[in-house]
Amino acid sequence: MRIHELTKQYDGKTVVDAVSFSIPKGKVISLIGPNGAGKSTVMGMISRLIAHDSGLVEFEGKDIGKWKSKELSKRLAILTQSNNIQMKLTVRELVSFGRFPYSGNRITPEDSAIIDRAIAYMELEAFQDRFIDELSGGQRQRAMIAMVIAQDTEYVLLDEPTNNLDIYHATNMMKIVRRLCDELGKTVILVLHEINYAAFYSDYICAFKNGSVAKFGTVEEVITKENLSDIYQVDFEILNIAGKPLSIYY
């Protein structure tokens, strides 16, 4: 996937300005940056939820706008934070929706097997017949991930998956992200606020500042004292823990 000169304006104000970078396959890529830096907007444009004004999102050699929506949904899954589902849905029913691009409303035996595996992978067997509005935030998040797994896409885009989760659930979430990449071979792109989660769990980091890419590279290249101080305008210290550059700010 390649992003080329992507630009977005809201009411004449440029929020994303000629952003270009390439997304390596089979890796975890985190988009970080201060509020209003444009990372979520870029994410929205990559996932076709937000229309871009100019530039190009090239997905497997083809402009993302030229893909058939249905075909794209078999290759690219998006999970946003706005999950206000009004319907009475059980966990299993929610996960079943992941098969919609393939089978529509009719679930085949093959789909059932995939759904079973997705539920087992997220350790949701005990909850599968519970309604999702009866679940805790962490469980619901896992159910959503199970749906994405059932969707069986090569690319998974997560918009702030650790938002509103406590450190236990947020850390578990990041471990799941790592497993999606290492065990299932997916390319995971996520927007994160916590720099240390990004540093510890991703392979590449794309740091945004004022609507442009300030730095894109491996974790070690991006997470340095100078880079972070420049991007966030705060003093940073970098510690090396478990071989990863973790930061503290004050």
Partner 1 sequence: MNLTAVRSNRNKLMLLAVLVLLCAAAYLLVEVNLDSPKLFAYAMKIRTPKLIAMLITAFAIGGASLVFQSVINNTIVTPCLLGMNSLYTLIHTAVVFFLGSGSIVATHANLSFAVDVLLMGIAATIIYSWIFQKTNHNVLYVLLVGTVLTSFFGSIQTTLTRVMDPNEYDTLLSTLVASFSNINSEIILLSVVLLGAIVWFLRKDLALLDVLTLGKAQAINLGVDYDRCIRRLLLGVTLCIAVATAMVGPISFLGLIIANLSRQLLKTYRHSQLVLGSALFGMLVLVGGQLIVEHVYTYAVPVSVFITVGGGLYFLYLLLTRKKV
Which residues contribute to the site for partner 1 (CB under 8 A)?
47-49, 68-74, 77-80, 82-90, 92-93, 97-98, 100-101, 104-105, 129, 151
Quote the least distance from Cβ 211 to partner 1, whole Å: 21
**Nearest distance in Å: CB 85, partner 1:** 6
Q: Please name which of 219, 99, 192 lies closest in space to residue 148, comparing C-alpha atoms.
A: 99
Give the residue with the Cβ less far from partner 1, 71 or 226.
71
Least distance from partner 1 to the Cβ atom of residue 206, Å: 21
Nearest 10 degrees: CA dihedral of 214, 158, 58, 1? 80
How many angstroms separate the CA atoms of 141 and 233, rounded?
32
Kindly state the smallest distance separating residue 13's Cβ from partner 1, in Å.
17
How far is residue 142 from each of residues 15, 31, 98, 174, 250, measured CA to CA in Å? 32, 21, 14, 11, 33
Nearer to partner 1, 98 or 211 (CB): 98
Q: Give, in order, the Cα–Cα distances in Å from 169 to each of 57, 81, 142.
A: 32, 15, 10
CB closer to partner 1 out of 33 and 98: 98
- Of 97 and 172, CB closest to partner 1: 97
CB of 67 to partner 1, least distance (A): 10
Strand 155-159 vs strand 187-191: parallel, antiparallel, or unpaired?
Answer: parallel
Going by C-alpha positions, the residue among 250, 138, 249 that lies closest to residue 196 is 249
Residue among 85 and 120 whose Cβ is closer to partner 1: 85
Contact 190, 222 (CB under 8 A): no
Q: Edge-to-edge, what's the strand order for the sheet holding 187-191? A: 76-79, 155-159, 187-191, 28-32, 204-209, 212-218
Q: Minimal distance in Å, beta carbon 5 to partner 1?
A: 24
**In the complex with partner 1, which residue's Cβ is closer, 32 or 78?**
78
